[in-house]
């Protein structure tokens, strides 16, 4: 099943474990390069994880700030695709990430929640955390593209 079809399915119910595995197998680009994986996808909420390794840290050994912004953009964009039922694409037009704390090992969990999903614009709030510690908060604004994703 294509990513678009999985996103359409997630609009009516959360993706099941086997569907999440299928989704993650098809994810490429920066998500694949970073080693990020989606752990929950449903209408209005997306969760993903990233195990921290040397490839995502800056010279001082803590996670590079751009990684958090990338996770926020990815989680919000998948949420935006679900909100559009996989029929239309989305593109980020604003990503504001606030840094709260740093981390050098463990797993980062990014949770995106819809604030507003209109026909043209969407707003998502994304929190990256490690354990009980909040690392960043992001606001991601998406534009819903006017053409189908084919």
Q: How confident is the model at residue 149 (pLDDT cuts 50, 70, 90)?
A: low
What integer pLDDT is reported at residue 85 of this predicted model? 80
Helices 65-83 and 3-12: crossing angle, nearest 10°? 70
The reply to whether 73 belongs to the active site is yes
Average pLDDT of the residues of the chain = 93
| pLDDT, tens digit (0-9, with 9 covering 90-100), for 70-124 | 999 999 999 999 998 877 889 999 999 999 999 999 999 999 999 999 989 999 9
Average pLDDT (128-143) is: 97
> pTM of the predicted model, to two decimals?
0.93
The owner of tokens 């997306």 is 46
């Amino acid at each position: 099943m294509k990513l678009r079809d999985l996103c359409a399915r997630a609009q009516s119910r959360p993706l099941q474990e086997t569907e999440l595995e299928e989704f993650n197998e098809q994810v490429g680009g920066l998500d694949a390069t970073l080693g990020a994986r989606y752990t929950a996808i449903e209408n209005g909420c997306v969760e993903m994880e990233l195990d921290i390794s040397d490839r995502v840290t800056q010279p001082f050994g803590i996670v590079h700030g751009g990684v958090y912004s990338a996770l926020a953009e990815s989680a919000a964009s998948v949420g935006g695709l679900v909100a559009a039922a996989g029929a239309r694409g989305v593109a980020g037009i604003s990503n504001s990430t606030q840094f709260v704390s740093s981390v050098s090992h463990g797993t980062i969990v990014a949770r995106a929640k819809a604030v507003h999903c209109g026909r043209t614009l969407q707003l998502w709030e994304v929190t990256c955390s490690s354990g009980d510690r909040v690392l960043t908060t992001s606001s991601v604004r998406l534009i819903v593209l006017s053409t189908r994703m084919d």
